[in-house]
Amino acid sequence: MKKQVALIGLGNILLGDEGVGVRAIQALRDEFDFSDEVSLLDGGTLGLDLLPFLEGKDKVLFLDALDVKKKPGIITILAEDEIPSFFGQALSFHQVGLADLLMACQLMGIKPARVSLIGIQPEKIETGLLLSQTIQENFEEYIQAILDKLGEWGIQSPKKRIEKNNKNCDFRVSTLNPGLETRNPNLIP
């Protein structure tokens, strides 16, 4: 039986940098082909409602904005015991929900064998759909950190080879630079 791996992006895309985990899931879906053993999930702000999605998984990688009180754009990787407990200092904006989720998994006997969290220090948590300039500038590095962690777990993610320009659209959102709109060069002005 193949091992089951879940990538779960956390955050609220209506609050700028707070939605970086969900934006990362969108970019990974758009840019890379994953084997059937890997599930990519927009976990948003679901908290304990994510419990069924963890059941049967061997490895889970959470993606989120992570407040480590450092310079915006700094990427931090936490594993197992490094993920702060429910009673510890909150680092992720969804940590209480995440801590509850992991505790519930443990109590139910369904906790994945390996759990990690890859976070990026947000610059702005405010109403808006776009990521801050700093997070946009560090987004590719964030995606690479995710791919590197998957590589450590034995998961390879080759790039998709599809044409992304849609000649019927005037604007498109750059997946690896969310929030950056670019004019489609294939349209006649």
What CA–CA distances, in Å, run from 137 to 22, 52, 73, 74, 90? 17, 34, 8, 11, 25
Q: What are phi and psi of 70, to 5 degrees?
A: -120, -175
Domain presence at residue 161:
no
Q: If you average pLDDT over each of 52-56, 80-84, 168-172, which comes out highest?
A: 52-56
Predicted confidence at residue 162, as pLDDT, reads 61
Domain presence at residue 159:
no
Domain around 42:
5-152
Question: Hunting for tokens 């990688």 — which residue is that?
Answer: 61
pTM to 2 decimals?
0.80
Predicted confidence at residue 96, as pLDDT, reads 59
What CATH number does residue 81 fall under?
3.40.50.1450
Domain presence at residue 166:
no
Q: Mean per-residue pLDDT for 167-177? A: 43
Domain presence at residue 104:
yes
Predicted confidence at residue 143, as pLDDT, reads 96
Mean pLDDT of the chain: 81
Number of domains in the chain: 1
